[in-house]
Amino acid sequence: MTALKTITNYLSLIKFSHTVFALPFAMIGYFLAVKITGNILDVHKLILILFCMIFARSSAMAFNRYIDKEFDKKNPRTALREIPAGIISSHAALFFVIVSSLLFITVTYFINTICLYLSPVALAVILGYSFTKRFTALCHVILGIGLSLAPIGAYLAVTGKFDWLPLYFSFAVLFWVSGFDIIYALQDELFDKANNLFSIPAWLGVSRALILSKIFHSLTIIFLFYAGMTAPFGIIYWIGFAAFISLLIYQHTLIKPTDLSKVNLAFATTNGVASILFATFVIMDLFIHK
């Protein structure tokens, strides 16, 4: 197997393209901290934050694939994933998790003390998520908590202290991710029920799960609105806010209880575009609005 093919397989294992969900919000946390503290743009620290995001997410995603390998093998939708298909061995995947986790902790050492001390806590959340589908339908919320660490984590990397403003963005991410993960889980409602796995769709059914997803996304809008009202933002922020809301609403028009054919469009494409677009407008506003 060529080196390029190996790299491609591991990028597929961790769904590297899905980094686009949390990474833009980490950039919001970073640039928000730079703006508020009046610090100069520290490219070295920005690179360290990017590496933290990559290593943390890589370890979490690979661990999820490792833990779920037996279920993935039985599920027709996931049977061709790298581990059940034999493309990557389970031992290799576990080794990848360990290395990625150690690299994550190592990078936090070069950022600041609080990030280093909190790194095991962050790992416990993002790795622990993989077990939650075995005992609670709130697994989607745990995933949301994991990704919500991005904006506050990046803010801590710059300031070394907690503040409410980045936490509003973290709460927004929590409910945004929880909401769209419920949509993604609609595909496995029957499989989850048959295999004693917990999820909101398996618990509430498709129709009520979609209602709860809408409620979560409404909470996302509330937190982003509150962040915009309490921070030094101008019109550019609100343009991004409107675009983000529009894409949230759009994804819900794509999914109906009787038609789940556009789940991937609603889950991956729409949310990826929404995240990048919103972060772009927020960061622009921070450095254009006085």
Neighbours of 123 (CB within 10 A): 21
Summary count for the chain: helices (H), strands (E): 14, 0
Q: Which CATH superfamily is domain 3-288 in?
A: UbiA prenyltransferase (1.10.357.140)
* pLDDT surpassing 80 at residue 21: yes
Chain centre distance of CA 236: 24
pLDDT tens per residue, range 34-63: 998 887 788 999 999 999 999 999 999 999
Sign for the pseudo-dihedral over CA of 256, 259, 260, 264? negative
pLDDT of residue 36: 86
Residues 6+ apart with CB under 8 A from 256: none
Residues 6+ apart with CB under 8 A from 270: 247, 250, 251, 254
Residue 265 DSSP one-character state: I
Q: Residue 196 — left, alpha, or beta (φ > 0 → left; ψ -120 to 50 → alpha)? A: left
Work out the pLDDT band at 288, boundaries 50, 70, 90. confident
Nearest to 217 by CA among 244, 248, 256: 248
Sign for the pseudo-dihedral over CA of 255, 145, 277, 55? negative
Nearest to 46 by CA among 100, 105, 126, 107: 107
Q: What is the mean pLDDT of the chain?
A: 93
How is the chain split into domains, by residue range? 3-288
Indicate the Cα dihedral angle 50, 56, 58, 62, nearest 10°: 180
Indicate the Cα dihedral angle 116, 118, 120, 126, nearest 10°: -120
pLDDT of residue 1: 56
* pLDDT surpassing 80 at residue 133: yes
Q: How far is CA 243 from CA 7, 235, 240, in A?
A: 35, 12, 5
* pLDDT surpassing 60 at residue 145: yes
Q: What is the phi/psi pair of residue 259, to 5°?
A: -145, 105
Residues 6+ apart with CB under 8 A from 6: none
Of residues 198 and 38, which shows the higher confidence score? Answer: 198
Tokens of 200: 């909101």
Q: 41 in helix, strand or coil?
A: coil
pLDDT tens per residue, range 49-100: 999 999 999 999 999 999 999 999 999 999 999 999 999 999 999 999 999 9
Tokens of 213: 């997803």
Nearest to 111 by CA among 29, 181, 218: 29
